[in-house]
Amino acid sequence: MIRQHSVRGAAAVVGVADAVSPDGVLQGSLRALEVQVIREALESAGLSLADVDGLATCTGGMMMPSVELAEYLGVSPVWTDSTQTGGSSFEIHVEHAAAAIASGACEVVVIVYAQTPKSTFKRGGARFLGGLPSGGADIDQVPRVEWEIPYGIQLPIGAYSLAASRHMAQYGTTSEQLAQIAVSTREWATLNPNASLRGPITIEDVLASPMTASPLHKLDCCLVTDGAGAIVMTSAERARDLRQRPAYVLGAGTAHSHSMISQMPDLTVTAGRESGAKAFAAARLGPGDVDVAQLYDSFTITVLLALEDLGFCGKGEGGSFVEDGRLGPGGSFPAQTSGGGLAYTHPGMFGMFLLVEAVRQLQGSCGPRQVPGAEVAVAHGCGGVLSATSTIILGTEATL
């Protein structure tokens, strides 16, 4: 039994910003994009770089992303985090930052992310090579190169496809049910002017899209776009004096179960079962209390597994849970309200945008896609190949 050192409500997100373009392409260098979203997030809170004493980021530079970025920004943090767990990195940064703020280690934290894979690809730059190691790694540290890559699996999609195949065989989940997740997510994207894919789609459209790794179709997969985002956090006390309605961190939990897919203990159960349970326990809330969910949607199967593992439905019931369209606008379980990684943006690690959208929903600033009366939001990141999850539960002042 893990002892809970609850930091419930001790820290809050007080400013968010993202840079996303409908055509998926952003102008400017990564540093320029980072600076843009950091300044915007700070200004929305009524803070400036001079207030920042904690910094978290997980990309860029050589080995020490947060150290290198701090120098560039001209800040000297007393708290730093370069944790890299793929798509769940930023949820972990929030968890760490909340604990640091609660303990008094620092007071104003900026978490930032920028990547431009679409521009890089257009320029003919390096493409993601499916897990081949970059220079410097010892082969013993990258076992997939010895034990997976030789079989010609496409990564990451092949790994998620294996999980989907197992869920289908074990629980009778269908391609139509997975497709419904993409359909509902696209309905949200039609309400977001910055989304890359805004035309409505049907289940038939998903099933008719090319299959690259069975059983997943092209429209079961996330986008590849440029994107950037930033989050500002501070203490609950200071949050109350700032410009935005604070989104308090009520609970957080992190877990990982494996790195490569062939080492995942059970392909139908993710570490979300642990990270979610920890987050809900800390928040003293249950799945039924969530008003709006932002679940990592690298692929439709990623959402289905998160729904089950976080307890929104029973194990094996994800398919029937989603098939009435309840994840979409007007549905009883609004999820991925930005349009998600499937239709809004996906620069490689969507976890930042899950948090940005969760906070915007609690601020009530989502315009046509606003979920009325949203008081409790969950942002659930998933990195690697269903490897590392981190669950953040946020709430308004009313939930404290």
Distance, CA of 332 to CA of 351 (rounded, Å): 23
Euclidean distance between CA atoms 374 and 358, whole angstroms: 9
Nearer to other proteins, 99 or 211 (CB): 211
Tell me whether residue 155 or residue 233 sits nearer to other proteins (CB atom). 155
Token pair belonging to 106: 């620092």
Listed ranges 117-125, 139-147, 178-186, 229-237: which one lies at the site for other proteins (CB under 8 A)? 139-147
Active site residue 113: no
What would the two tokens of residue 137 be? 């790694």
From 113, 160, 248, 344, the catalytic residue: 344
Q: How far is the CB of 222 from other proteins (least distance, A)?
A: 17
Active site (annotated) includes residue 151: no
What is the footprint of other proteins within residues 178-237 (CB under 8 A)? 210-215
- Residues 358-377 as x/- pattern, contact with other proteins by CB under 8 A: --------------------
Max Cα separation, the chain? Answer: 57
Residues 56-115 binding other proteins (CB under 8 A) are none
**Which lies closer to other proteins via its Cβ, residue 32 or residue 137?**
137
Q: Does 149 bind other proteins (CB under 8 A)?
A: yes
- Residue selected from 28, 46, 61, 143 as contacting other proteins according to rule CB under 8 A: 143
**Start-to-end CA span in the chain (Å):** 25
Length of the chain in residues, anyone? Answer: 400
* Dihedral angle, C-alpha 129, 135, 139, 145, nearest 10 °: 10
Binding test (CB under 8 A) with other proteins, winner from 11, 12, 41, 163:
163
Looking at this protein, which amino acid is placed at residue 263?
Q
Q: Which of 166, 198, 284, 315 is close enough to bind other proteins by CB under 8 A?
A: 166
* 93 Cβ contact partners less than 8 Å away, ≥ 6 residues apart: 56, 58, 81, 83, 111
- Could you give the CA distance from residue 36 to residue 312 in angstroms, rounded to a whole number? 37
Binding positions for other proteins, 277-316, rule CB under 8 A:
none
Q: Which is nearer to other proteins, 154 or 365 (CB)?
A: 154
Count residues near other proteins (CB under 8 A).
Answer: 33
Q: Which of 113, 160, 248, 296 is catalytic?
A: 296
Looking at residue 329, the DSSP 8-state letter turns out to be: T
User: Which of 100, 102, 162, 189 touches other proteins (CB under 8 A)?
Assistant: 162
**Residue 77: how many CA atoms within 13 Å on its side-chain side?**
28
Task: Using the rule CB under 8 A, give the single segment among 143-151, 274-282, 283-291, 311-319 that binds other proteins.
Answer: 143-151
Q: For other proteins, which is the closer residue by CB, 212 or 370?
A: 212
64, 78, 169, 400: residue in contact with other proteins (rule CB under 8 A):
169
HSE-CB for 276 with a 13 A CA cutoff: 27
Report how many helices (DSSP H) and strands (DSSP E) the chain contains, helices first. 13, 11
- Kindly tell me which residue out of 76, 154, 202, 365 binds other proteins, with binding defined by CB under 8 A: 154
- Choice from 26, 155, 342, 392 touching other proteins (CB under 8 A): 155
Instruction: Say which DSSP state 128 is in.
Output: P
Distance (Å, whole) CA 311 – CA 324:
18
Q: Which two tokens stand for residue 138?
A: 């010892």
CA angle, residues 43, 46, 50, in degrees to nearest 5 = 80
| Residue number, 182 or 213, with CB nearest to other proteins | 213
Of 255-284, binders to other proteins (CB under 8 A) are 261-263, 267
- What number of CA atoms fall less than 13 Å from residue 280's CA on the CB side? 17
> Shortest distance, CB of residue 131 to other proteins, whole angstroms?
9
- Min dist CB 262 to other proteins, Å, is 4
CB within 8 A of 32, min separation 6: which ones? none
Nearer to other proteins, 260 or 354 (CB): 260
Two tokens at 310? 């976080």
Q: Which helix (H) or strand (E) holds 39?
A: helix 30-45
Q: Using CB under 8 A, pick the residue from 146, 204, 237, 324 that binds other proteins.
A: 146
Backbone angles phi, psi at 292, to 5 degrees: -150, 135
Catalytic annotation, residues: 296, 344
Residues that bind other proteins (CB under 8 A): 130, 139-140, 143, 145-155, 158, 161-166, 169, 210-215, 261-263, 267
